[in-house]
Structure 1
Amino acid sequence: MSADSSRRRTPSPRPTAIRHGRQRTSTVVASFFRTVGLVLAVALVSGVSIAAIATWDVGKDLTVVALEGDKTDVAPPDIAAIEGGVNLLLVGSDSRAGQGEAYGDETSNLNDVTMLLHISQDHSSASVVSFPRDLVVSIPECPDGEGGTSDAMSAQPINVTLLYGGLPCTVLTVEKLTGLEIPFAAEIQFNGVIEMSNAVGGVPVCVASPIDDDWTNTHLTAGTHQLAGMDALQFLRTRHGVGDGSDLGRISSQQVFLSSLVRTIKSSDTLTDVTKLYGLAKAAASNMQVSTRLSSPDTMVSIAVALKDIPLEKIGFYAYPGTTGGSGVYSGKVQPNVLDAEAMFAAIRADQPIVAEAGNTGLGAEVDPNALPLASDAPADPGAGESAAVESDAAADLTQAGQAGSAATVLPKSITGQSAAEYTCTKGFDY
């Protein structure tokens, strides 16, 4: 409600005398405005009620998990006042529990996806870092959820942290790995991804070469596909069908989807429409566990609003660097490139924007050769990728220039990624 709409108006004094012949008109006009005023009043009150109901409706579905050091009696912080910006860990669980029969009978609870969102303190840039599920990391001692603790481990795949100690253990592990404090965290399950993709009306995804993956039943021809519901979920899950068939290839393919998702949300004015924002929150809430400080729907919405004015070229998606290798029990696991990763997280800890080398999109993606990067003040056009004819390296150079212009740290070549302004296509696995 605006200040003008909430301000009381002092009614004009009724005239002491009314001229003949004007009384009926004056009465009709007054009655009309009283009716309009009543309708407006009802509309305004209804708007407040709808917002209150939406907040309650979202909040009642949330499962709240206390992270290590959380104080459950502390009010949600004002997002604009958080020192150092926002650090939020989003974990995608592969648990089938309570998700219906569509995903099989498995009962494991591993973090299939682990992504860290950092929003700068002045809300001028945002970075999302994906951690390969098989990345070998050091896991600290974690609460086990039953009043005890799980032992620290020097070298384990990061995706077992959810199994050993739930969301708090994944957060503690990523905090140790990155040197960042992470006050916000959420764990989302399969159905939550489906509902969120439906809530935005689907996401246009460019496929450079056919994807055929029987594991996830993902079969897509080359071209642009509008993905929603189960199709969107299975596209995000497919590993055998993209890149080199590894999780490293899958991450870059997921970034094709995520960058298009950001463009879709921004072009539909979702971030400026409270109703749409609460709709997204509602879509995820019933399939999500959140940390204490994220348990207020208002906090969820305020974090989303923090992204509203960030230009697309200042929103980047990156992969934690590493190579597939190892021996023995670690054979085929992702060995971390700690030195290059530290260059990235040092910049993030210093609240500096980062950017990947031009065109360095990873194993499962490539720059769309027919698309220019989207101007930050222009509406997104899902068809633009097929109508603008430019060279792919020129498109990538423009994207990098847009970010580097604000003293961005150019990341080592081992760190792949892209900005939300950069149109890219998923590469199918070449058998």
Structure 2
Amino acid sequence: MVSGVSVAAIATFDVAASVQPSVHLDNETKGPVPQIGAIDGGVNLLVVGSDSRKGQDAVFGPEDSTGDLNDVTMLLHISEDHTNASVISLPRDMFVPIPSCKKADGSGSYNAMSRQKINTTLTYGGLACTVATVEKLTGLDIPFAAEVQFSGVMAMSTAVGGVPVCVAEPIEDLYTGINLTAGEHTLEGFEALQFLRTRHGVGDGSDLTRINNQQLFMSSLVRTIKSADTLSDPTKVYSLAKAVTGNMRLSDSLNNVSVIASIAMALKDIDLSKVVFAQVPTGNVEGGVIPSQPAFKEMFEAVAADQSIQLSGTTGAGTVVDPNAPVAVPADPAGPAGPVDPAGPVDPAATPAPEVVAPSVSVLDESVTGQTAADYTCTAGRTLKDQ
């Protein structure tokens, strides 16, 4: 017992020690650190994927160390009652207004801009600027944020023992160097990273279909993390915690192992079908895309109202339905002994049970593409001859 407690203490200290210097968000205030257990209320957390190669010469080589764009921007929303969650992707080439942001080096501020691509916000003012921009765009308060670089993606996929993905048609991409045959693949490390980065080898070669592919990967990652094989393996759980704290730059509010654990606890019992991955609706303009109204506004009004969102559109051109997806077998309500009244006999003197009110549901416009974590999809691969 003493040995076990000692190992747990060392592991906790090791994970805490791997936490990197944090970033202060404009809307942050000091508050109490929650105890281990599900966080109270809902959560809005912005996850930003940086294309920076700085400090990652071992992967990309010293000659490729430039770049600091948020090419992935995703908002995680967990409902107040912890019954559903959504991960909303904002395309990197979407033109948006950017508020005045403090320069990352503290030397002053950038002026507000009426129209600029969202993936430049990380360059202008770091993680805090990206958060401020998304808050202005969506009308939401976002108290938590995390920036992950390529090394973090590699570490997380390796920590869970690899992420299984389905490829419907071969993926060939000279830019990322990834080549996958049709069929099932379990990806981790550098190969997982290149799968997420590939654009030319997926769908129509656009960033929009790349997001579809990323949603496929994230759905599979969620299923893998929530599986017994991961949650019952202390080594995997510990490695995953290390991957998060050691390879992400977190906001002050999130830069604590207990806070991260409390948010994870809020997610752990949500049914896979209630974890929705959605891409905001957009329309094409020269050089990029813009939010498509009123569907864009309605989407974030539903999130602000803490409604459970439901998709009505397709998974997008980057993915197709997996023909070999497992089929759920409905339970037999009659059972072996015939029909049974689940409520049992009624006691007239008993106090009536409180009525369970189902959370309100908002069906999103069909222009919103995406899938749930329970949906099995395959990448619509693209070969060199189609590029």
TM-score (norm 1): 0.77
Say yes or no: does 1:65 pair with 2:23.
yes
2:39 and 2:263 in contact (8 A); partners too: no
Match of 1:10 in 2: none
Distance 1:374 1:273, change over 3 A: farther
Match of 1:355 in 2: 310
Q: Distance in 1 between matches of 2:151 and 2:57?
A: 9
Identity %: 57
The alignment of Structure 1 onto Structure 2 pairs a total of residues equal to 353
| Offset at residue 264 of structure 1 (A) | 1.1
List per-residue Cα deviations over 1:60-98 (Å, max 9, x = no partner): 222211111324x53324674544x01111111100000
| Correspondence list, 1:18-417, <5 A | 43=1, 45-61=2-18, 62-71=20-29, 74-77=31-34, 80=38, 82-83=40-41, 85-104=42-61, 105-147=64-106, 148-268=108-228, 270-271=230-231, 276-326=236-286, 331=287, 333-357=288-312, 360-372=314-326, 407-417=360-370
Q: Distance in 2 between matches of 1:134 and 1:118?
A: 22
Q: Distance in 1 between matches of 2:146 and 2:316?
A: 26
Q: Distance in 2 between matches of 1:256 and 1:373?
A: 18
Q: Distance in 2 between matches of 1:113 and 1:46?
A: 42
Letter in 2 for 1:419: T
List per-residue Cα deviations over 1:369-394 (Å, max 9, x = no partner): 332466899xxxxxxxxxxxxxxxxx
Q: Distance in 2 between matches of 1:109 and 1:86?
A: 27
List per-residue Cα deviations over 1:373-422 (Å, max 9, x = no partner): 66899xxxxxxxxxxxxxxxxxxxxxxxxxxx965211101100100111
Distance 1:132 1:372, change over 3 A: same
**Gaps in structure 1 of 5+ consecutive residues:** 1-42, 378-404
Q: Distance in 1 between matches of 2:32 and 2:239?
A: 23
Distance 1:54 1:355, change over 3 A: same
State the Cα RMSD in Å. 2.1
Letter in 2 for 1:93: S
Distance 1:271 1:315, change over 3 A: farther
Q: Distance in 2 between matches of 1:374 and 1:184?
A: 35
Letter in 2 for 1:204: P
Using CA pairs below 8 Å that are at least 6 residues apart, which structure has the higher relative contact order?
2
Distance 1:374 1:173, change over 3 A: farther
2:102 and 2:110 in contact (8 A); partners too: yes
| Offset at residue 245 of structure 1 (A) | 0.4
Deviates more, 1:341-350 or 1:96-105: 96-105
Q: Distance in 2 between matches of 1:74 and 1:272?
A: 32
| Offset at residue 324 of structure 1 (A) | 3.0
Q: Distance in 1 between matches of 2:152 and 2:304?
A: 30
List per-residue Cα deviations over 1:81-123 (Å, max 9, x = no partner): 544x011111111000001243251411101211110011111
Decide which structure has greater helix share. 1
Q: Distance in 2 between matches of 1:102 and 1:170?
A: 26
Q: Distance in 1 between matches of 2:47 and 2:123?
A: 16
SS at match of 2:55: coil
Distance 1:264 1:182, change over 3 A: same
| Offset at residue 185 of structure 1 (A) | 0.5
| Offset at residue 173 of structure 1 (A) | 0.6
Bigger Rg over Cα: 1
Q: Distance in 2 between matches of 1:247 and 1:374?
A: 33
Q: Distance in 2 between matches of 1:179 and 1:272?
A: 39
Match of 2:353 in 1: none
